[in-house]
Amino acid sequence: MPIKIRKVRGQECYRVFNGESGEVYAKCTTRAEALEQKKIIEDADKMKKDLNMTDKEIDEEIKVIVNEVSKKKKPKSKKK
């Protein structure tokens, strides 16, 4: 499962998504948090094989973890 990070055009934030399915895990987060989320998602994917969990169960767990990480710090928008 290739997890990709891309910068959001026109904003100072990054998007974390699955390269194969296009599923978005984070729409707008800092680069440091995006890298942390990518690591968590990849680790969860490796653990999936050891725990014999279904893809749906793993995806639900990943979303919960990513939401917790992204709630810690939200990027501040610049007002003009």
Q: What residue type is 42 in one-letter code? A: E
Helix, coil or strand: residue 14: strand
Which pLDDT does position 7 carry in this prediction? 95
Contacts of 35 (CB under 8 A, 6+ apart): 5
Residue 46's pLDDT band, with cuts at 50, 70 and 90, is: confident
Q: List the domain boundaries for the chain.
A: 3-72
Which pLDDT does position 75 carry in this prediction? 56
> Which two tokens mark 41?
């998602």
Find tokens 């990513």 and name the residue.
Answer: 66
**Residue 18: exposed, middle, or buried by beta-carbon count in 10 A (0-12, 13-18, 19+)?**
middle
The pLDDT tens digits for 1-30 are: 689 999 999 999 999 999 888 899 989 999
Which pLDDT does position 5 carry in this prediction? 94
Which pLDDT does position 62 carry in this prediction? 76
CA distance 25 to 40: 11
